[in-house]
Amino acid sequence: MTFTEKLYEKLRNSLSKHIIGHDEDILLLLVALLSRGHVIVEGLPGTGKTLMIKLFAMSLGLGFRRIQMSPDMLPTDIIGAKILDPKTGELRLVLGPIHTNVFLVDEINRASPKTQSALLEAMQEGYVNIEGEEIKLPYPFMVIATLNPYEREGIFPLPLASTDRFMFSLVFGFLDREHELEILRRDHERGGEEPVVEPVTSREEVLSAINEVKRIRVEENLMEYIVDVIRATRKAKGVLLGASIRAGIHLLRASKALAAVHGRSYVIPDDIKYLAPKILVHRLLFSEDYPREAREKIVKNIINNVKPPW
């Protein structure tokens, strides 16, 4: 069992005590973290998005901060600012909540375009600029942004250029009856207290896993396969605008992380086929306003029509 595979097992065992019915989401969050990606989580309020992300960061021994977006939120509320210290009369640097390892942005589509841009710039560059001073963000650094896809008032929808910066788009829906019942049982056993987990690893071990992912082998024909999948989205029926080059890079990096999580030192075609719909569905511009299920079906058909190397 590889180091990264052991890390995943420890994380899954830790979160399974409190998180029900989200095994795949736990896997994809870890894959995104280890491949230095960011994640959008769609879902209605009360489906457990914030709790799971908080416990995810706690289990990995990483810093966690959360911010609730609103239309009057300013970029300085996120990245920080220099304020005048009344005692000394000098400017003092006050860092914003983005200076952490796992940064949860609740309802990102409620923030103004200016504030969204400041956040996305930090995601891309890995540092923020506060009045001319460049400040590096902690490493690893991951943004998880939630949004309610059914809200229509008081929101600023993310443009395609912004959603393209996120590696995955996950959906938190309602669980089946047995899972909902189990959640109630566990809340009753805790006496209604918020669940807390102890770290099962450390930031240093997470960094070691990230380095292990970087060493995963990828054959040339698999890179060609990724390029063929990406290019196929650009001429597919029902798609007005296909995937970007960044989508191919994200697919490559995520496939390496998935291979490491599964205990392999090399990528196989099934890694790419499994991850491609989760990486592509939120990036494409479709000819109609299809529901999520229909968009996923279109993407899967595109992938199935591209022949893998083996």
pLDDT in tens, 189-199: 999 998 989 99
Residue span of the structural domain in which 179 resides = 3-186
Residues 102 and 251 placed together within one structural domain of the fold:
no
CATH of the domain at 77: 3.40.50.300
pLDDT in tens, 113-146: 999 999 988 998 899 999 888 999 999 999 999 9
151: pLDDT confidence band, cut at 50, 70 and 90?
low
Residues 164 and 15 placed together within one structural domain of the fold:
yes
Residues 228 and 157 placed together within one structural domain of the fold:
no
Output the pTM of the full model: 0.94
Residues 141 and 242 placed together within one structural domain of the fold:
no
Of the listed ranges 5-9, 16-20, 134-138, 153-157, the one predicted with least confidence: 153-157
What is the average pLDDT value for the chain, to the nearest integer? 93
Residues 9 and 134 placed together within one structural domain of the fold:
yes
pLDDT at residue 84 in the model: 83
Q: Is the peptide bond before 157 cis (omega within 30 degrees of 0)?
A: no
Residue 202 included in any domain: no
Residue 50 included in any domain: yes
Number of domains in the chain: 2
Residues 177 and 229 placed together within one structural domain of the fold:
no
Residues 79 and 160 placed together within one structural domain of the fold:
yes
Residues 224 and 159 placed together within one structural domain of the fold:
no
Residue 210 included in any domain: no
- Is residue 46 predicted with pLDDT exceeding 90? no
Residues 133 and 234 placed together within one structural domain of the fold:
no
CATH of the domain at 279: 1.10.8.80
pLDDT at residue 1 in the model: 79
Residue 235 included in any domain: yes
Distance CA 13, CA 104 (A): 22
